[in-house]
Chains A and B, each alone.
Chain A
Amino acid sequence: MGETFAVKILSRAAGKKVREGEIVFVEPDCIMTHDNSAAIIGKFESTIPEGRIRYPGRIAIVLDHVIPAASSKHAAGHKRVREFVREQGITDFHDIGTGVCHQVMPEMGLVKPGSIVVGSDSHTCTYGAFNCFATGIDRTEAAGIWITGRTWFKVPQTINIELTGAFTTGISAKDLILTIIGDVGAGGANYMAVEFNGPAVGGLRISDRMTIANMGIEMGAKIAAFPANSMTSKYYDALGLDVAGAVWSDHDAVYTRTLRYDLSEIVPVVACPHQVDNVVKIEEIAGMKIDQIFLGTCTNGRVEDLKLAADILKGRRVHNSVRMIVAPASREEYLKAMKMGIIEDLVSAGAVVLPPGCGPCLGAHQGALAPGEKCLSTANRNFKGRMGEKEAEIYLSSPETAAASALTGKIQDPREVLK
């Protein structure tokens, strides 16, 4: 009987054959933390005063959430992190401006195929795009792993998602994953691993895979993983690394459930307030007036996403009833977009570009909403209060839908603009 990706990778890490449902102790290959490192440092130091990190080489810290600091309190947190990094000899520290952690980690070659990665951020599941067993933990657990180097996992069951076909014009990975989440539900994959299989996987770009894996947590999944293939090899080649550690499920692996999607049947969708699984087809909501468009985040802030939007906005104007905010996912992506003229197209159209970071996504600073306003965002979460104001509404869509809506000031089917 074949084994799933999760069973194989956890067996390898545990050094024995493991079964679904079993609790295993493993040493993660990489532990990612971000601005919340400041709080983790406090926990670390109160647990083992003067202590050392067990494996400093496995630690990666990225300052991305509230950058540049929005207040002296945030600045003090950042300062504490910089000091700690020096004291502990942590070399993988990436200061403000490098980008959103989930973009920076792969860019820097810190998440390798077949590795186990934990992060003090729920969207750590993004690295599943790179064949990692990657999942979110809380600050306390991060402090614990800094100290002990290890943690536990319950070996998850797996949902298999089989993909066939190819996207049609104006439709992309975001529409697919929102459709899946709408079907599975916000808790439908709770505690489970999700694998993406099928002939269409080979045609999905790395950026598409990241968009999809990123949102695994929005259906409750522990991990959301893709096999390594030629595109993955190319990505790591460019970094001077390889994919030798890659692992994948057997052809006869046993899944709790298999779902099938034909990409050619996917249509533009929008997740409505205040839950990500509240997904409707665009025609059900088209025409709704929007106050702000936000293009960016670890879900859709890559150059591919910015290009999809720029292709729609080039030579046109953002409607005067709406404001458009863009935050590239990282410095690298920002630079690529600059060189390709994408930033110029977006700024000329009237967009406001923020530094590469999380920006308005978590409501801590930048691009806050007023009570009663509506924002169409390419982020991954539309919870009440997420963007800092609980009387505001957040709608989630693809970059194409966001750009098309920027043109009209209303939720707009991108296929009509692209005709």
Chain B
Amino acid sequence: MNVFHYPQSDINTDLLFPGKYTYTCSTGPEIKEHLLEDLDPDFSGAVQPGDIIIAGENFGCGSSREQPSLGLKHVGVSAVIAKSFARIFYRSALNQGLLLIQSPGAVDHYSEGDPVAVDPVAGEVRVGDRLFSFPSLPDEMLEILEDGGLLNHIKKQYTRGDEV
């Protein structure tokens, strides 16, 4: 498992996925080509399923484009741990089924090479030898995450015949 560490604050959606591709790339494989292109050109080639991103304050600020969260989910990033997230990105990640963890303590404690492990249900993240807890999501939101995102969640309800 790799940890990609981008300690700076305010990493915006243009850095995560340049706006000029917004209307020509919408599927996972198309997005992967340009994912984090202007932040870390090596990311797309290096990322593996299960990898984790660690970042500073206000991660994902800017546009409502969902390619960043969709792309990170597509390449199999298991969690983004940041000091805080921009709200549209936060929603978007949940809608894609991408786990976000707000834990300033974990981010501050991390140093290059530390092993990182995440338990979303318990609301715990382990960084090196220390355990940090984070507020777990309300049940409705956990369900969306467990179903693999909003549309899978809706699809499930639809096929069950629930009122959606």
Contact = CB atoms under 8 A, between A and B. Distances in A.
A73 B95 CA distance: 26
A362 B20 contact: yes
Contact of A48 (B57, B64, B84, B155): B155
Interface stretch (B21-29, B106-114, B124-132): B21-29
Given A138-B92, A187-B57, A381 B18 contact: no
A36 interface: yes
Interface in A183-204: 186-187, 190-191
Interface in B80-122: 84-88, 91-92, 95-96
A191 B64 CA distance: 14
B14 A383 contact: yes
A141 B23 contact: no
Contacts of A383: 12-15, 62
A77 to B, nearest CB: 6
A328 interface: no
Interface stretch (A39-47, A205-213, A409-417): A39-47
A23 B140 contact: yes
A383 B38 CA distance: 11
Contacts of B24: 71, 73-74
A385 B84 contact: no
A363 interface: yes
B95 A144 contact: yes
Contacts of B158: 47-48, 147
Contacts of A275: 10, 12
B155 A141 contact: no
B15 A186 contact: no
A94 interface: no
B65 interface: yes
Contact of B23 (A48, A65, A138, A140): A65
A386 B57 CA distance: 21
Contacts of B155: 47-48
The range of chain B's interface size is: 35 or more
B88 A388 contact: no
A25 to B, nearest CB: 8
Given A147-B154, A385-B38, A141 B92 contact: yes
Given A43-B151, A138-B95, A186-B58, A191 B87 contact: yes
A342 to B, nearest CB: 29
Nearest to B158: A48
Given A152-B140, A190-B84, A190-B87, A138 B18 contact: no
Which of A42, A143, A190, A191 has the most C-beta atoms of chain B within 10 angstroms of its own C-beta?
A190
B50 interface: no
Nearest to B15: A384
Contacts of B141: 23
A141 B91 contact: yes
B49 interface: no
A283 B58 CA distance: 30
Given A187-B61, A385-B15, A140 B96 contact: yes
B48 interface: no
A120 B58 CA distance: 20
Interface in B129-155: 138, 140-141, 149-151, 154-155
A362 B22 contact: yes
Interface string B65-83: 1100110000000000000
A8 interface: no
A41 to B, nearest CB: 11
A138 B62 contact: no
A35 B96 contact: no
B123 interface: no
Contacts of A39: 26
A42 B26 contact: yes
Contacts of B95: 138, 140-141, 144
A388 B26 CA distance: 18
A186 B10 contact: yes
Interface string A271-291: 000010100000000000000
A66 interface: yes
A38 B23 CA distance: 9
A112 interface: no
A122 interface: yes
A121 interface: yes
A77 B15 CA distance: 24
29 contacts: A23-B138, A39-B26, A43-B151, A47-B158, A73-B24, A74-B23, A120-B64, A122-B88, A137-B64, A137-B88, A137-B92, A148-B164, A186-B10, A186-B61, A187-B10, A187-B58, A187-B61, A190-B84, A190-B86, A217-B88, A222-B87, A277-B10, A363-B18, A381-B63, A383-B12, A383-B62, A385-B15, A385-B19, A390-B38
Given A39-B26, A42-B26, 10 more contacts: A23-B141, A46-B151, A136-B88, A138-B92, A138-B95, A143-B151, A147-B164, A187-B86, A383-B15, A386-B14
Q: What 3 A-B pairs are tightest by C-beta distance, nearest first?
A: A187-B58, A138-B66, A138-B92
